[in-house]
């Protein structure tokens, strides 16, 4: 399962309302599940890929703890996960360069993750490749 969000997740500010992030996602998932079947993952890996426009300054790249991943995961979990605790769900975060700013969230079975990661690293330009 992959979910592409049109922009980067924002930097969290004290008392910032994040409804603009999770409410549209919730509505999109709610609409999607009425027309399509989505698997319910008992065990999974959730991968958050922050993709930055490679033509813009690298100074825009933020650390992971300033992003609203928790709110997004809670919204996704209500549709496709048994639970998002560490007993059932592992998470992986990556920063990549691309043609435009966006965030992609992938949900997969744990046994698929190593192959997914290997294929992803060979096809995407990551920040670690910059010298």
Adjacent-strand bridge partners of 48: 93, 105
pLDDT at 116: 92
pLDDT at 131: 40
pLDDT of residue 46 exceeding 60:
yes
What one-character DSSP code corresponds to residue 12?
A: P
pLDDT, one tens digit per residue, over 11-32 is 656 556 667 778 889 999 999 9
Q: How many domains does the chain have?
A: 1
pLDDT at 119: 86
Confidence of residue 59 (pLDDT cuts 50, 70, 90): confident
Query: Is-contact 120 90, C-beta < 8 A?
Result: no
pLDDT, one tens digit per residue, over 83-121 is 999 999 999 998 888 899 999 999 999 999 999 998 887
Which candidate, 58, 62, 52, 47, places its Cα nearest to that of 94? 47
Is 112 a member of any domain? Answer: yes
Is 17 a member of any domain? Answer: no
Is 49 a member of any domain? Answer: yes
Is 83 a member of any domain? Answer: no
Reported pTM: 0.84
The Cβ of residue 47 has, within 10 Å, a number of other Cβ atoms equal to: 20
Q: State the average pLDDT over residues 58-65.
A: 79
Is 76 a member of any domain? Answer: no
Domain interval for residue 94 = 1-9+41-59+90-130
């Amino acid at each position: 399962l992959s979910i592409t969000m049109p922009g980067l997740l924002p930097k969290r500010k004290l008392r910032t309302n994040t409804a603009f992030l999770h409410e549209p996602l919730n509505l999109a998932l709610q609409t999607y599940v009425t027309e399509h079947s989505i698997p319910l993952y008992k065990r999974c890996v959730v991968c958050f890929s922050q993709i930055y426009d490679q033509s813009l300054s690298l100074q825009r790249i933020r650390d992971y703890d300033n992003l609203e991943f928790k709110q997004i995961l809670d919204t996704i979990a209500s549709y496709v996960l048994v639970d998002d605790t560490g007993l059932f769900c592992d998470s992986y975060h990556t920063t990549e360069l691309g043609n435009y700013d966006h965030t992609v969230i992938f949900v997969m079975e744990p046994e698929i993750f190593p192959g997914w990661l290997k294929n992803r690293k060979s096809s995407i330009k990551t920040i670690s490749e910059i010298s």
